[in-house]
């Protein structure tokens, strides 16, 4: 049960109330924003909450137990502090959203209703909708390892042990917001960087990652198609590092990277069909590994 401060409780029990909602968004990089549905700026917990910024919230649910509570906040990109490029580059991913009930006549009378984290963000026509989830979502994360046929290591990390796959490149031509021409790459094969991870090392998108859908020759250079959301601020001369693509399979680890000795999956693990199949003479029960 949420304990309501006595002054605010007395106010809410009156016949006429002067309360509003305020939202405080705390990004992972330390940047803090404040918004309110009131018509003037309110100071809440030391944060100036902007009025009438086009931010509104959906119905929020609170449940007992360990269920994940969820809600949505919707807003227009009308606030000078929120830009389309910030949302695009993931600046608000996993940010904390605090919802406050405030008496706008006496802003010191307030109560924190809920604190949640931003999940998926969708945009359309100059508006955005951010899904918020309670801290119970952390209980859904995998702790430890899973017994799967595919590798659970990341290409090039200490468990994978594959070295030398990272290459540096530079943008030379921008075809579209999802296709770029680059220089500096020397792929050993025509599909070497397919599904690879591109990390920007300079420019306004520095630190952001994208997945490369595929590579293709473009004159004497290489054209990369990006699978993730477009990057509106990309410029000629921006630099990046690029890892080759890995589908986590034992076959590719062996053939493409010659790294089967460090494979971190269980390729010989039989599936449900094999484990529960009848030994009726029709199946393959010779004891050989399922994956060579």
**pTM of the predicted protein model:** 0.58
pLDDT tens digits, one per residue of 216-257: 999 889 999 988 666 667 889 999 999 999 999 999 999 999
Position 287 confidence tier, pLDDT thresholds 50, 70, 90: low
**Which regions of the chain carry the CATH code 2.40.10?**
7-138, 167-243
Question: Which CATH architecture group holds 7-138?
Answer: Beta Barrel (2.40)
In the structure encoding, which two tokens stand for residue 166, read together?
A: 């990272």
Class for the domain spanning 167-243: mainly beta
Q: Give the whole-angstrom CA distance, residue 97 versus residue 220.
A: 48
pLDDT above 60 (res 266): yes
At residue 268, the pLDDT reads 80
115-153 residue pLDDT tens:
888 877 776 666 667 777 766 666 767 777 778 889 999
Return the pLDDT at 160. 92
């Amino acid at each position: 049960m949420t304990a309501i401060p006595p002054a605010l409780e007395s106010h809410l029990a009156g016949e006429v109330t002067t309360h509003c909602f305020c939202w405080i968004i705390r990004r992972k990089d330390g940047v803090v924003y404040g918004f309110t549905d009131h018509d003037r700026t309110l100071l809440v917990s030391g944060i100036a909450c902007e009025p009438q910024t086009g931010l509104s919230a959906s119905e929020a649910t609170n449940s007992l137990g360990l269920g994940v509570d969820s809600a949505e906040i919707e807003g227009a990109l009308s606030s000078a502090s929120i830009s389309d490029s910030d949302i695009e580059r993931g600046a608000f991913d996993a940010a904390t959203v605090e919802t406050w009930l405030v008496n706008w006549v006496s802003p010191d009378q307030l109560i924190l209703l809920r604190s949640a984290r931003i999940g998926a963000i969708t945009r359309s026509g100059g508006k955005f909708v951010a899904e918020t989830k309670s801290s119970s979502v952390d209980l859904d994360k995998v702790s430890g390892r899973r017994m799967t046929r595919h590798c659970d290591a990341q290409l090039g990390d200490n468990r994978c042990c594959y070295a030398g796959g990272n290459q540096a490149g530079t943008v030379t031509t921008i075809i579209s917001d999802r296709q770029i021409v680059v220089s500096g790459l020397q792929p050993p094969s025509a599909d070497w960087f397919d599904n690879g991870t591109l990390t920007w090392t300079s420019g306004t998108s520095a630190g952001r990652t994208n997945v490369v859908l595929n590579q293709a020759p473009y004159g004497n250079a290489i054209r990369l198609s990006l699978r993730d959301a477009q990057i509106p601020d990309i410029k000629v001369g921006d630099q990046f590092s690029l890892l080759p693509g890995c589908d986590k399979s034992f076959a590719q680890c062996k053939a493409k990277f010659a790294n089967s000795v460090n494979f971190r999956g269980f390729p010989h693990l039989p599936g449900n069909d094999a484990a529960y199949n009848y030994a009726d003479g029709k199946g393959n029960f010779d004891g050989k590994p399922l994956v060579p």
